Amino acid sequence: MSFILILEQVLNGLQFGVMLFLMAAGLTLVFGVMGLINLAHGSLYMVGAFAAAAVAGLTGSFLLALIASLAAAAAAGALVEVTVIRRLYDRDHLDQVLATFALILIFSEGTRWLFGSFPLFLDVPAYLSGPVTLPFGIQYPLYRLAIIAIGLVVGAGLFWLIARTRIGVQIRAGEADREMIAALGVDISKLYTVVFALGAALAGLAGALVGAIQSVQVGMGEPVLILAFVVIVIGGIGSIKGALVGALLVGLTDTLGGVFLPRLFALMLEPADAASLGASLASMLIYILMAAVLLVRPSGLFGGSA
Amino acid sequence: MGRERLFNAAMLLALLAVPLLAWGLQEPFIITLATKVAILALAGVGLNIALGLGGLVSLGHAAFFGIGGYAMGTLASHAQNYEPLFSWPFLFEGSNQMPLIWLTAVLASASGALVIGALSLRTSGVYFIMITLAFCQMLYYFAISWSAYGGEDGLSIWVRNEMPGLNTLDPIQFFAVAFGVLCLALWFSARLARSAFGLALSAARQSEERVETVGLAPFKLRLVAFVISGPITGLAGALFADLNRFVSPTMLSWHTSGEIMIFVILGGVGRLYGPLVGAAVYILLEHLLGGISEYWQIFLGLLLLGMVLFARGGLIGAPVGSGGGA
């Protein structure tokens, strides 16, 4: 186990964490501002990936594909908000869970109907493919580095948007007291649509970026959705900062655990047993992390009251 | 509640009459469908104790469904290979006897419910939903990576397990087993809802502070409800695995959690026979729409969406009027 391997895996974990952050940011924003639990967030991730794959197939341009993913997911998000989600803000969480679960069924089967059951592929563009040499002589895929960079830039942009712009002020005010800002003349329902579409666009971007590493297929959003839930439970629901910290924690724990736990067990057990026990335990590691965080802080690291 | 009671009796009779009729007409497939309805309704009855009575929105009941399924798979596969599960500290052999399998399924899922409940009930609201979901997903990934019992491919059992005095390979006799268990569970949950414990639990759902003020601990009430709820769903899991003679990680997936919740909601939350109506409608839709279109779940999604947005009382609400509750 060399130093270079560790660094490589840390970078992988960072890349995974940054992707999770793009997913979790939208979820936590929507919950923080509108009080809505949205299971269909993973479907927006899928919409982004499919839009990117379709546009890349037509035009061959990766940049256009990314723009398409943002636009398609934002449009799908806005459409769903206006037709369905809007009616759910005053309902209890059970209704929200059911209605958004129904949306998943509609999105998944609708996508299967449009694109078929076979996975699509989205190629990494030539200018982002191949390895780069980092300090200490590490060879690392350029595309993954680009994902980390894009994720960090988008994350910084989001913090700037929330902290410094007029719409950010309105979002934060909406979190604190929705009646009051409505009384001050902010069109609250338009604000909600914008926030929902923003979260959707981030999920769609994440879907497109990951779609170039993995295959683009129906149901791809659901494992990520549940990880994003773990992230915001750890970080504290409603907190963007919590989502960032939680995402990096989960990304690093999952990646490093998957690589190093089997090796750790190999020091003590037979190779076959070590591999299977290590893999089983590694797959549970982030949930154990979540349970541990909840034991100490039931409302997450940066959460207020639930 | 007179009309609801009449409606419930009619539903139960229908569930009994359809397979008997199919038996007379020699349509074993319909008997299997009815058995599936009975078993899935049982899973819903389990969830309904947590959800309807306790107000605990658990999106992780597939965990117990799957634990029950794997209890059956593990015991039966060891029995068919003539290997003991373990021989230390005591000899524990596999089994193909349903009563023993059920006992194992119930104990295993009760322990699971105790651990998951004790951790998840520290939180409430959205956190509770997400955490139950996450624990369920944890078991799902564990089952996938646990290669000794089939991993991702699942585990097949060659012959259905045995029930003393019955031939479970005969569809109508296996239906009778599932139907009997369902009736017992319905009777039990009706008693539970009317018991002192059930009333206290219901009160904790409606007003936590008042319950605390009279000296009851909501956390304990909810934990007990969760530990009662889980094993009923677990027992359904064991039966479901026996029906298919197959258990796989799919039983633990969060889609299964969602489906069990749909059974409860389609029928009407907190209504005793809600899960039965919900499961029956779900299986009927799957069978009828599935024949028309490969994409039948779009229609299921639309129906569910319409239900949540416009018909809050569930399907039972339409014929017997609203009200209801536990």
Q: CA B260 to CA B69: how far, in whole Å?
A: 15
Q: Is the pLDDT of residue B320 over 70?
A: no
Q: Is the pLDDT of residue A305 over 80?
A: no
- B315 interaction partners in chain A (CB closer than 8 Å): none
**Nearest CA-CA distance, residue B51 and chain A, Å:** 9
**Nearest CA-CA distance, residue B187 and chain A, Å:** 26
Q: CA A258 to CA A283: how far, in whole Å?
A: 7
What is residue B146's predicted lDDT score, i.e. its pLDDT? 81
Lowest mean pLDDT among A26-40, A205-219, A268-282, B271-285: A268-282
pLDDT of B107-137, one tens digit each? 999 999 999 999 899 888 888 988 898 899 8
Using a pLDDT cut of 70, give the percent of chain B over it: 95
ipTM value, please give it: 0.84
Which of B57, B119, B130 lies nearest to residue A229, judging by beta carbons? B130
What is residue B326's predicted lDDT score, i.e. its pLDDT? 37
Write down the residue that tokens 């999604």 correspond to. Answer: B301
Q: CA B174 to CA B163: how far, in whole Å?
A: 9
Query: Chain A: residue nearest B260 by CA?
Result: A98
CB atoms A102 and B308 under 8 Å: yes
CB atoms A106 and B141 under 8 Å: no
What is residue A148's predicted lDDT score, i.e. its pLDDT? 93
- A110 interaction partners in chain B (CB closer than 8 Å): 295, 298
Which of A110, A288, A299 lies nearest to residue B298, judging by beta carbons? A110
What is residue B313's predicted lDDT score, i.e. its pLDDT? 65
Residue A267, domain member (yes or no):
no
What is residue A239's predicted lDDT score, i.e. its pLDDT? 86
What is residue B109's predicted lDDT score, i.e. its pLDDT? 97
- B305 interaction partners in chain A (CB closer than 8 Å): 84, 99, 102-103, 106
Q: Is the pLDDT of residue B55 over 50?
A: yes
State which amino acid sits at residue B121: L
CB atoms A31 and B254 under 8 Å: no
**Nearest CA-CA distance, residue A97 and chain B, Å:** 9
Residue A281, domain member (yes or no):
no
Average pLDDT over residues A4-33: 91
Lowest mean pLDDT among A23-27, A273-277, B186-190: A273-277
| Cα–Cα–Cα angle for A137, A139, A143, rounded to 5 degrees | 140
Grade residue B167 by pLDDT with cuts at 50, 70 and 90: confident
Which residue in B61, B70, B145 has the most chain A C-beta atoms within 10 A of its own C-beta, making it the best mutation to test that interface? Answer: B145
Nearest partner of A249 among A218, A295, A196, A290, judged by Cα: A290
pLDDT of B267-279, one tens digit each? 887 788 899 999 9
Query: Chain A: residue nearest B117 by CA?
Result: A291
- B144 interaction partners in chain A (CB closer than 8 Å): 283
Which residue in B57, B260, B285, B300 has the most chain A C-beta atoms within 10 A of its own C-beta, making it the best mutation to test that interface? Answer: B57
CB atoms B138 and A294 under 8 Å: no
What is residue A42's predicted lDDT score, i.e. its pLDDT? 93
Query: Chain B: residue nearest A114 by CA?
Result: B295
Average pLDDT over residues A261-290: 81
Q: CA A228 to CA A157: how far, in whole Å?
A: 20
Residue A191, domain member (yes or no):
yes
CB atoms A102 and B51 under 8 Å: no
Grade residue B92 by pLDDT with cuts at 50, 70 and 90: confident
Residue A252, domain member (yes or no):
no
Which of A87, A288, A300 lies nearest to residue B309, judging by beta carbons? A87
Average pLDDT over residues A27-47: 91
Lowest mean pLDDT among A21-35, A191-205, A282-296: A282-296
pLDDT of A249-264, one tens digit each? 999 999 998 888 888 8
Write down the residue that tokens 């700037």 correspond to. Answer: A160
Residue A176, domain member (yes or no):
yes
Q: CA B319 to CA B276: how far, in whole Å?
A: 15
Which residues touch A273 (CB under 8 Å, ≥6 apart)? Answer: A265
State which amino acid sits at residue A53: A
The domains of chain B, with CATH numbers, are 2-16+27-320 (1.10.3470)
For residue A186, the enclosing domain spans: 9-220
Q: Is the pLDDT of residue B7 over 90?
A: no
Lowest mean pLDDT among A95-109, A207-221, A253-267, B80-94: B80-94
**Nearest CA-CA distance, residue B202 and chain A, Å:** 17
Going through chain A in order, the beta strands assigned E by DSSP cover: 131-134, 138-141
DSSP A302: S
Average pLDDT over residues B148-175: 87
What is residue B158's predicted lDDT score, i.e. its pLDDT? 86
Which residue in B53, B124, B263, B309 has the most chain A C-beta atoms within 10 A of its own C-beta, making it the best mutation to test that interface? Answer: B309
Which residue in B53, B58, B59, B302 has the most chain A C-beta atoms within 10 A of its own C-beta, making it the best mutation to test that interface? Answer: B59
Query: Chain B: residue nearest A298 by CA?
Result: B123
Which residue in B47, B58, B122, B129 has the most chain A C-beta atoms within 10 A of its own C-beta, making it the best mutation to test that interface? Answer: B129
What is residue B321's predicted lDDT score, i.e. its pLDDT? 60
Q: Is the pLDDT of residue B39 over 50?
A: yes
Q: Reduced to 3 states, what is the DSSP secondary structure of residue B91?
A: coil
Does any CB of chain B come closer than 8 Å to the CB of residue A105?
Answer: yes
Grade residue A48 by pLDDT with cuts at 50, 70 and 90: very high
What is residue B325's predicted lDDT score, i.e. its pLDDT? 41
Write down the mean pLDDT value for chain A: 88
C-beta separation of B234 from B105 below 8 A: yes
Grade residue A49 by pLDDT with cuts at 50, 70 and 90: very high
Average pLDDT over residues A15-30: 92
pLDDT of A186-219, one tens digit each? 888 888 999 999 999 999 999 999 998 888 989 8
Query: Chain B: residue nearest A284 by CA?
Result: B138
CB atoms B265 and A102 under 8 Å: no
Residue A154, domain member (yes or no):
yes
Residue A65, domain member (yes or no):
yes
Q: Is the pLDDT of residue B79 over 70?
A: yes
Grade residue A306 by pLDDT with cuts at 50, 70 and 90: very low
Q: Is the pLDDT of residue B323 over 60?
A: no
CB atoms B142 and A284 under 8 Å: yes
Residue A276, domain member (yes or no):
no
CB atoms B124 and A102 under 8 Å: no
What is residue A203's predicted lDDT score, i.e. its pLDDT? 95
C-beta separation of B313 from B268 below 8 A: yes
CB atoms B137 and A87 under 8 Å: no
Which residues touch B176 (CB under 8 Å, ≥6 apart)? Answer: B166
Interchain CB contacts (distance < 8 Å): A and B: 124
Average pLDDT over residues B314-318: 69
Count up the domains in chain A and report the number. Answer: 1
Q: CA B137 to CA B147: how far, in whole Å?
A: 17
Using a pLDDT cut of 90, give the percent of chain A over it: 43
Does any CB of chain B come closer than 8 Å to the CB of residue A182?
Answer: no
| Sign of the alpha-carbon torsion through A130, A134, A138, A144 | negative
